[in-house]
Amino acid sequence: MINQERLIKTFMELVQIDSPSGEETAMAQHVSGVLEKLGAKVDVDEYGNVIGKFEGVGEAIMINSHLDTVEPGRGIKPKIDGEKIVSDGTTILGGDAKAGVAAILEALTSLRESGAKHVPIEVVFTLSEEIGLLGAVHLDYSKITAKHGVTFDGEKSVNYITTSAPGYTRVDVTVIGRSAHAGLEPEKGISAIKIAAEIISMLQIGRIDHETTANIGLIEGGSAVNAVPERVLFKAEIRSRDIQKLEKHTEHFQSVFEEIRKKYPEAKIEVVSHREFDPYVFEKNHPVIQQTTAVLKDMGLTPILEPSGGGTDVNIFHTHGIQAICVGIADYSAHTKREYILIPELLDTAKFCEKLLSSI
Ligand SMILES: [Zn+2]
């Protein structure tokens, strides 16, 4: 049976192992040890992702969460505050996604105790999710046989199911003009700031439609107030749940760059555009959704199917043919020092995981 005390203890232990993105070795070793004790065949791929396999009956399922956290995430001191678990206010809590990891480990522990029948389980704990889904990108997919899965990394309670997420294109732009003394010979210069401003004023950003957004989130340039600026760098992103719209908006960006290149032939506009991941959309009657909603209903919970505005490891799994969804892990205000976990909902997440694995 899912044991609340043990679940909380596991969660507290996990968040006290520092694992900011890129520094997850201690955390990966810890969870590998736990999985081994639970009887899993544990494998670590070349990137460092942890894969734990349990034999079972029926169709294999992948259960996933990520091991890294954002900053400030070192020396986390979790404490229980009524029904919540919070940090001491100087760091994040690390519930994203260690609440997911803890729920998975508790479900596996409970299954082992009860000896209940379950499907073949492939636990995948990825690294560096927070810095561009890198663990999922570099995961050794030859080690995974499951064709469907559940990722424990969503906001709110476990009955919140993400059924679609946008694809994502990054666009980095460097404008190179020519520097000159601003007072003595400005006519010899080409202002990179002015050109960048012109480009940016022409780019459509913000909400483009109900499933498409674009943003310019970073800009830097110039060297001194009395110099015509030679160089400006700005970074943009485009997201859409419709791949054609994602492509179309990327083309709009490119056409603006082209127009400005023609207008300022002496300037250079260098563009690095990269599709980081594709969008995915589930139909309501997809077997993975049906199975998940059936388990939730069985628990007396109302499944709430929602599109997401952000990407998770799920986006990458889909490009590798693994039909995965993302469920909530009882984590709130993630990526802030106000982050907290709701204990009763964390318990539900663990119960859901156990029920899902044993529903053959
Ligand atoms: Zn996360």
Query: What average pLDDT score do residues 326-331 get?
Result: 97
Encode pLDDT of 43-56 as tens digits. Answer: 999 999 999 999 99
Query: Is the confidence at residue 283, as pLDDT, over 90?
Result: no
* Residue of 100, 20, 104 whose CA lies nearest to 61: 104
The one catalytic residue in 24, 68, 339, 348 is 68
Which range, 128-132, 255-259, 272-276, 317-321, has the best average confidence (pLDDT)?
Answer: 255-259
Asked which of 98-102, 238-242, 346-350 is least confident by mean pLDDT, the reply is: 238-242
The one catalytic residue in 24, 122, 129, 153 is 129
| Ligand 1 mean position, distance from CA 130 (Å) | 7
307 exposed, middle or buried (CB, 10 Å; 0-12, 13-18, 19+)?
middle
Contacts of 114 (CB under 8 A, 6+ apart): 1
Query: What average pLDDT score do residues 264-290 get?
Result: 93
Q: Considering only the C-alpha atoms of the chain, give the largest distance between any 2 of them, rounded to a whole number of Å.
A: 83
pLDDT for 284 equals: 84
Phi-psi region of 103 (alpha: psi -120 to 50; beta: other; left: phi over 0): alpha
* pLDDT confidence bin for 360, thresholds 50/70/90: low
| Ligand 1 mean position, distance from CA 79 (Å) | 21
pTM, 2 dp: 0.85
pLDDT for 232 equals: 98
Using alpha carbons only, give the angle 308, 313, 316 rounded to the nearest 5 degrees: 100
pLDDT for 357 equals: 97
Query: What average pLDDT score do residues 300-328 get?
Result: 92
Residue 187 is a catalytic residue: no
pLDDT for 208 equals: 97
| Ligand 1 mean position, distance from CA 316 (Å) | 14
* pLDDT confidence bin for 203, thresholds 50/70/90: very high
| Ligand 1 mean position, distance from CA 172 (Å) | 25
Query: What average pLDDT score do residues 127-144 get?
Result: 96
Percent of the chain with pLDDT over 90: 93
Question: The tokens of 293 are what?
Answer: 């909603």
| Ligand 1 mean position, distance from CA 256 (Å) | 34
pLDDT for 310 equals: 79
* pLDDT confidence bin for 79, thresholds 50/70/90: very high
* Count, residues in the chain: 360
Residue 130 is a catalytic residue: no
Query: Is the confidence at residue 170, as pLDDT, over 80?
Result: yes
CB of 295 within 8 A of CB of 355?
yes
Query: Is the confidence at residue 104, as pLDDT, over 70?
Result: yes
For the chain, the average pLDDT equals: 96
Task: Provide the angle, in degrees to the nearest 10, between the axes of the packed helices 343-358 and 95-114.
Answer: 50
Helix (H) or strand (E) holding 325: strand 323-332
| Ligand 1 mean position, distance from CA 332 (Å) | 11
* pLDDT confidence bin for 236, thresholds 50/70/90: very high
